[in-house]
Every structure is written in structure tokens, then in C-alpha cells.
Chains A and B, each alone.
Chain A
Amino acid sequence: GAVVSQHPSWVICKSGTSVKIECRSLDFQATTMFWYRQFPKQSLMLMATSNEGSKATYEQGVEKDKFLINHASLTLSTLTVTSAHPEDSSFYICSAFGQGGTEAFFGQGTRLTVV
């Protein structure tokens, strides 16, 4: 199956700093990637849809200036959490569909802790 690689797997940062999370499709091209956030014991909540070469589409309630998404190539999307605050602490995970279009592949996820 297709492989999506995400890193870092975990990061601790100070409040007010920015953190960049990378998501790569290793053996296929992903024109579209999806970013989710998951709080403990909760479901995956879609944050935004990342499209290669164009602006990301954000879900209602997600601040686009705080969660910067860049999809500069067919294999790389990045999520930057700017001016992080403790309430941004969460599990962030990216996803892309494989060639068949029915199975989504997920990165390993990034556990962000803001102190």
C-alpha cells in the first residue's frame, strides 16, 4: 500500500513559538492531503484540505493564520502551528488517499505539547 510519512512524531515547544509538521507521500503523488487534529479519547476532526499548488481549504472554526498549510510539491505538505498555546496541544495527523481512491493512508501523527 501507499506510505505517508509524518514527522516529527512528537514535539514539545514553548508557548508563543511555532512548530512545523511535515507530511510526505513516499511512493505516490498526493495532490491533496488532509490534516486532522485529535484530542485524547476523541475522534479525528478535519482541520483543512491541502491542495498542491493552491491555497488550503480550512474547516469552519480553524484559524488559517494560526495553522499555516503549505503544499508546495506533489509529495509534501506542511502544517505550521504559529504562536502555539497550551490549548493547541494535541495529536496532529495527515492523510492522503491512495491510487484507488477508497483507502486513506495516514502519517504516524505528531504529538504536540505546548508548555
Chain B
Amino acid sequence: GQSLEQPSEVTAVEGAIVQINCTYQTSGFYGLSWYQQHDGGAPTFLSYNALDGLEETGRFSSFLSRSDSYGYLLLQELQMKDSASYFCAVRKLSGNTPLVFGKGTRLSVIA
């Protein structure tokens, strides 16, 4: 089976930096992804890490350590619109296999 652990809630101040951690246990591993979901909306893709290291996309960065079964999403220069739920997700295999999501971290950005 697969399980992913991430904090349930995080609060941060506008303009600050926040890190959302994710640890996973899977029988197979084909990359760690991060998705953002605003209330009532669909998840949207943020990042994907297949190999160890840091991937940067604008204000968002994602890190993976496969040996530690650990990753994180880093959000910089927080904006109010970043208030949303953030999910880490893994796939066991390549090809048409589904994403398995963590329970999600609800980020609240305050002024």
C-alpha cells in the first residue's frame, strides 16, 4: 500500500516563506508531485520530482530525497491567493497508473 503524511494545517504571514513537508511509504515509487486546490475547485499541478534535488518554478520550489522518502514544497513571497490546500501525491509505477494523494495541508496566509 501507500501512505503519505503531511501537516494538516499551516498558517503563515503574507510575504513570508513556508515549507510543507511530505513523507511517504510506498511499495513502488514513480515521482512525487504537488497539487494546489482552492475551496470548491479542482486540483492544479504545481511540481513533479522524479529525482533527488530541488525543482524551482517561480515562487514555488519542490524538493525530493528518495533515500529518506521525503519531500517538501516551498512557497516564497506568500500572497493571500496562496491560501489553499496543498497535496503531495505519488504514483507507484509509470504509465497509466493513478496518483495517490496525501491528506492535504491547508495553508492560510494572513496579513
Contacts and interface: CB of A to CB of B under 8 A. Distances in A.
A45 B63 CA distance: 24
Interface string A79-115: 0000000000000010101000111111111010000
B87 interface: yes
Contacts of A34: 98-99
Residue from B42, B50, B94, B96 whose CB has the most chain A CB atoms within 10 Å: B42
Given A43-B104, A44-B87, A102-B48, A109 B96 contact: no
A46 B100 contact: yes
A77 interface: no
Residue from B100, B101, B106 whose CB has the most chain A CB atoms within 10 Å: B101
The main secondary structure of chain A at its interface with chain B is: strand
A66 B33 CA distance: 31
Nearest to B43: A106
B111 to A, nearest CB: 23
B99 A107 contact: no
B4 to A, nearest CB: 9
A102 B33 CA distance: 8
Interface residues of A, number: 24
Contact of B96 (A44, A93, A97, A103): A97
A41 B9 CA distance: 11
Nearest to A4: B42
A111 B40 CA distance: 9
Contacts of A104: 33, 35, 43, 45, 99
Contacts of A97: 96
A43 B101 contact: yes
B102 interface: yes
